[in-house]
Amino acid sequence: MNSNEPLFHLMEISYKYHRTTAVAGITLSIAAGEFVGLIGPNGSGKTTLLRLMSGFMQPYEGKVCLDQIPLDQWPLKSLAQNIAVVPQQVTIPFSFTGKQMVLLGRIPHMGLSTPSPKDHTAAVQSLELIDALDLAERSYNTLSSGEKQKIILAQAMARNSRILLLDEPISHLDIKWQTQTLQLLSQINSQGSTIITAIHDLNLAAIYFPRLVLISQGQLIADGPPSTVLTKQLLEQVYETAIAIHYPFGPKYPQISPMPLEVPTVN
């Protein structure tokens, strides 16, 4: 493999749900080892873009290549060994324990057989990584949204895949765990994994992601470091709301506050 070639290459891809266009001609290259934040308003196409990158959905125009091979030519099992996906939420009809849930993440390595000691080790390790060993024997359906999110993250990490696609992995977490999780992701990234995360929190995105991709109405609006993507003009245009930008952590990390629609009166 030529190391100059991108890991992921999205070429002019479009996707429609019935008649609604969700992704409209996006071209994007992501190199191995990148840590990319995918931002944009609700319904802008972030989740669809991640699904197109996991191969769960096929674009009706254009193609997605991983290692220069179109996704639909990958054997499903090796694709699953390469890419782990963390969906927004997972509901299950019958309640597995936390550890059982994490072990399920090893299915691409297990095939039809029972988990090996290696699978168990990987499951326990990823529970340790997110400090969730105490959830191992708890029933998944009794956990809080934040605890569930941790288990789902551990499930993906147990895969030990080289690519992680995450769909708003911190939306239900408290501020401590939001930063801890992003810290953890950036640590996994520094060990060589490529990570692409849809994220709503622009302020945390600015701090943790070296590269941000801003999409709106299925189109790519901006792509680059936070300082060039998170500008007042672009964000006000895309989010259709007035914002203020300030730089408490330095010029590389813009922080965004929405302007209140009505300024509260202070006595």
* One character per residue 202-241, x = contact with other proteins (rule: CB under 8 A): ----------------------------------------
| Amino acid symbol at 96 | F
**Taking the complex as a whole, how short is the minimal distance between the CB of residue 101 and other proteins, in angstroms?**
8
Q: Which of 11, 13, 25, 26 is nearest to 68 (CA)?
A: 11
Q: Work out whether 166 is an interface residue with other proteins (CB under 8 A).
A: no
Q: Any idea what the Cα angle at residue 257 is, between residues 251 and 258, rounded to 5°?
A: 140
DSSP letter, residue 71: G
What is the three-class DSSP state of 28? Answer: strand
CA distances from 160 to 57, 95, 117 (A): 23, 24, 15
**Taking the complex as a whole, how short is the minimal distance between the CB of residue 23 and other proteins, in angstroms?**
17
Stretch that binds other proteins, among 1-9, 100-108, 168-176, 232-240 (CB under 8 A): 100-108
Q: Work out whether 144 is an interface residue with other proteins (CB under 8 A).
A: no
Q: Which of 64, 15, 19, 51 is nearest to 219 (CA)?
A: 15
Q: Which residues in 118-137 contact other proteins (CB under 8 A)? A: 120
Q: Work out whether 69 is an interface residue with other proteins (CB under 8 A).
A: no
At residue 68, φ and ψ (nearest 5 deg) are 65, 5
**Taking the complex as a whole, how short is the minimal distance between the CB of residue 90 and other proteins, in angstroms?**
6
- Mode of pairing for the β-strands spanning 61-66 and 69-70: antiparallel
Q: CB-wise, 158 or 170, nearer to other proteins? A: 158
Q: CB-wise, 161 or 189, nearer to other proteins? A: 161
Residues that bind other proteins (CB under 8 A): 51, 54-56, 76-81, 83-85, 87, 90-97, 99-100, 103-105, 107-108, 110-115, 120, 139, 141-142
